[in-house]
Amino acid sequence: MVTRSDWMPATLEGKLTMFTNIQSKVGSYQAALPLTAGLVTEIEEICSNYIGSFDFVENSRATRQAVTSWRDILLYGEPVGDALPAAPVFANIGAVTGTIGIIPRFREIRELIVASPGYTEAIGDDLIITGSESGGPVPEGSLVPSLTLTVSAPYKVNVKASKRGMDAIQIEYKPNGGEWTVLKILMKLPADLVITPQTLGLPESGHIRAIFLKDNEPIGSYSPEYAVTLSA
Q: What pLDDT score was predicted for residue 140?
A: 54
Quick one: which of 94, 99, 22 has its CA closest to 59? 94
Q: Which residues contact 46 (CB under 8 A, 6 or more apart)?
A: 19, 98, 102, 105, 106, 109
183, 195 contact by CB (below 8 A)? yes
Question: What integer is the mean pLDDT of 157-182?
Answer: 89
Q: How far apart are CA 20 and CA 15, in angstroms?
A: 8
- The highest-confidence range among 92-101, 162-171, 178-187, by mean pLDDT, is 178-187
Alpha helices by DSSP H, 77-161: 102-115, 121-127
146, 52 contact by CB (below 8 A)? no
Amino acid making up residue 78:
E
Is the pLDDT assigned to residue 166 strictly greater than 70? yes
Q: How many residues does the chain have?
A: 232
* Beta strands 156-160 and 191-194, pairing class: antiparallel
Whether this prediction's pTM lies above 0.85 is answered by no
- pLDDT tens digits, residue range 197-207? 888 888 899 99
Q: What pLDDT score was predicted for residue 5?
A: 55
CATH 2.60.40.10 boundaries in the chain = 143-230
The fold of 143-230 is Immunoglobulin-like (2.60.40)
Q: What pLDDT score was predicted for residue 135?
A: 43
Quick one: which of 96, 117, 121 has its CA closest to 45? 96
Identify the three-state secondary structure at position 122: helix
First-to-final CA distance of the chain: 65
Strand order in the sheet with 191-194: 148-152, 156-160, 191-194
Q: How far is CA 226 from CA 91, 157, 181, 201, in A?
A: 18, 12, 14, 22
Quick one: which of 190, 120, 118 has its CA closest to 161? 190
146, 59 contact by CB (below 8 A)? no
E strands present in 77-152: 148-152
- pLDDT tens digits, residue range 54-110? 888 888 888 888 899 999 999 999 999 999 999 988 877 777 777 899 999 999 999
